[in-house]
């Protein structure tokens, strides 16, 4: 009877460990999916901002400071969107590496 009890206890411990591992894997996959969606949306917005920066036409009679502020705002937008996408990719890489351990 003691041997059966020990066997059941060990089986329960193994099953508990397996469920914990599956739960961590599911949560990790959910976070990676969410982060991938954020990266995709950031890339779309980045392409729109880059298009505005490259193809945007300002009227020729506008003041110089308006053109400077426009370029400064769009340039900083592109910069921060690129940083956001890079940090998202780096976070995905870290999550993949730590989940494989």
Do the beta carbons of residue 49 and residue 77 sit within 8 Å?
yes
- Residue 7: pLDDT above 90? no
| Summary mean pLDDT of the chain | 89
Of 77, 71, 76, nearest in space to 56 by CA: 71
Q: What's residue 54's pLDDT?
A: 86
Domain ranges of the chain: 2-99
Assessment of whether the complete model's pTM goes beyond 0.75: no
Q: What's the pLDDT tens digit per position in 51-64?
A: 988 888 888 888 98
Of 32, 13, 18, nearest in space to 98 by CA: 32
Q: What's the pLDDT tens digit per position in 27-45?
A: 889 999 999 999 999 999 9
């Amino acid at each position: 009877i003691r041997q059966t009890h020990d066997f059941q206890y060990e089986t329960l411990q193994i099953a508990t460990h397996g469920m914990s591992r599956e739960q961590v894997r599911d949560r990790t996959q959910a976070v990676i999916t969410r982060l991938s969606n954020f990266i995709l949306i950031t890339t779309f917005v980045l392409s729109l901002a880059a298009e505005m920066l490259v193809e945007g036409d300002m009227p020729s009679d506008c003041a110089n400071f308006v053109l400077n502020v426009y370029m400064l705002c769009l340039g900083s937008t592109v910069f921060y969107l690129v940083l956001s996408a890079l940090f998202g990719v780096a976070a995905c890489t870290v999550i993949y590496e730590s989940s494989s351990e």
